[in-house]
Structure 1
């Protein structure tokens, strides 16, 4: 007979997995662990993981490799954490699995593709003044061992991010040497220390304080997490960075006919292009080889991000993983 306490525990686990809510301190289990797996189809799982560093459950999309012993490619969400904050899409669908053809592109590739959901306005890093935002710890210490064990991977990892998390993906290789063999920035921001005001404006649009992330702008943590200032630490890591030089709408954006010039997206992409160029120049000056791509068109859209991700796989990440 199943006890009443067991039933309550199961209900709590299900609710937290679905809503991503924090558990009260007295109910916190010890150690990161998988709380549940929903099988969307034969290759796509939604894996709920309890994060002890944040005391909450994170849902992760997983596209399973066709065979065991495969590497893992992590894809970070954008500033909205995979949610359509101002639109009609259901939560968790403005994401890599909802906005791009992950299943089609990786169908014949022996790699596990994993994308966490949530973490809006977190920069997917560890915050000094917000215990609910410890995403670097989650992505470098908590999640990978669980994925390795559950899907019997070979332990080879890569990570990519878009826009605000593009620089974060590269930063992971700086902060956790050896964990990620390859990193990709898809129209990502790679110079936060010198452009703290841009970061502050982005976080402020979601009601978050940049000071709460890495302390006062210009401080040591801003420099420590700036990929352009730590390129020497990327030696031995396969690095891909890309952005559109013009910010102009192009076929790559896949926008509806008559959409217009996408002024906001183009403005953001031009800022990103400058940031990416500074990073590439820093890498060249330090003698660190990277793959640096300047796209002729693209206006900071999911079409552009997907194209850059696929290009990164073909040129940089797939070869680094041996996949």
Structure 2
């Protein structure tokens, strides 16, 4: 029996969906993490940056959520004039554990000579950084779009002499969120970069990706209403891709096949066979799913004749690749923010 292209695509989606369901049931984080020595070195660099005033820990009150939100800021190297701001979001954990930019990457060292303020919210786990339509029994009030687009920017501009030029970037869960945030606040962000995020929320694969993140921590119906309903289409970056016109756009994904960081001798794995199997066996299929979503966004932007940079390479769903992608996307981000 012959297999049509449409049947093949449907089978591919079903295969990816099956992987996501398995990851949800196992509740496994797929990302490689830094070893103890590297963590200690990065903590020391951060402590020195704090002591020198190059890094700040702020507590910003959110009226819409009636809560205080911890926010970490890497201050621009030269503060003699107002500087632009890049909002850099963490993945599914929201920075509430060790899976965040300051533990898992060299962000403090990277930012030391940059004339851009880098702002990282250290909360918002499993929320998709969106405004939930209902109060959730576990999460309470989630109004992250309101916080990030309306409440936080004026505070940052006042605290660190921001210029009002803003960009936004994020990984994994936030790779979806930053695209939706840029679409929802078209006048706020000049540029957006999404690393390893599924750019769909209204397709079956996109819905399962969201459900896998939210999982048993919250009721996903409290986020955008019934699964598959209008709210899910309203937040779908592919459907709303036309709203990205005029922005500098960078989107990346690994293919899911093992890449240069997926070797036993590499820093995050350090010869640990079980860790290698976890990263390749779970992080590989997860990244293959984001690769599929990313290609759909790529096609849609081409249809709309909206310029964007897409970067694909072998690799899994893990931090070493996101550190690389921040560096690769930086020239584009910096140009857009300083023009």
Instruction: Tell me, yes or no, whether TM beats 0.5.
Output: yes
Counterpart CA distance in 2 for 1:285 and 1:207 is: 37
- Alpha-carbon distance between aligned partners in 2 of 1:182 and 1:52, rounded to the nearest angstrom: 27
- Give the drift of 1:254: 4.4
Give the Cα separation in 2 of the matches to 1:153 and 1:119: 23
C-alpha deviations, 1:112-151, integer Å up to 9, x for none?
A: 0000011111011110012521111110000001101111
Q: 1:155 aligns to what SS in structure 2?
A: strand
Determine helix, strand or coil for the equivalent of 2:120. Answer: strand
What is the Cα deviation at residue 247 of structure 1? Answer: 3.5
Superposition map of 1:221-232 within 5 A: 221-232=231-242
Structure 1 gap ranges (5+): 1-38, 85-92
Is 1:73 aligned to residue 119 of structure 2? no
- Report what 2:212 is aligned to: 201
Matching of residue 156 in structure 1 with residue 165 in structure 2: yes
CA distance in 1, matches of 2:151, 2:102: 22
Q: How far 1:319 sits from its partner (Å)?
A: 1.0
In the TM superposition, residue 197 of structure 1 has moved relative to its aligned partner by 2.3
CA contact (8 A) 2:84 2:164 kept: yes
What's the C-alpha RMSD, in Å, of the aligned pairs? 1.6
Check conservation: 2:95, 2:123, Cα contact below 8 A: yes
Which secondary structure does the structure 2 equivalent of 1:158 belong to?
Answer: strand
- Unaligned segments of structure 2, at least 5 residues: 1-48
How is 1:21-170 mapped onto 2 (pairs within 5 angstroms)?
40-42=50-52, 43-66=54-77, 67=79, 68-84=81-97, 93-130=98-135, 132-170=141-179
Q: Distance in 2 between matches of 1:255 and 1:96?
A: 14
State the TM-score, normalized to the length of structure 2: 0.77
Relative contact order higher in (CA < 8 Å, ≥ 6 apart)? 2
Kindly indicate whether residue 268 of structure 2 is the aligned counterpart of residue 250 of structure 1. no
Q: Is the 8 A contact 1:162 1:305 kept in 2?
A: yes
Matched, 1:212 2:222: yes
Find the counterpart in structure 2 of residue 298 from structure 1.
315
Distance apart, 1:199 and its partner CA: 1.3
**Alignment correspondent of 1:172:** 181
| Inter-partner Cα distance in structure 2 for 1:129 and 1:82 | 23
Separation in 1, partners of 2:153, 2:257: 35
TM-score by structure 1 length? Answer: 0.81
Task: Count residues in correspondence.
Answer: 274
Contact 1:170 1:239 in 2 (8 A): no
Question: Contact 1:247–1:300 (CA<8 Å) still a contact in 2?
Answer: no
Matches of 2:295 and 2:219, distance apart in 1: 27
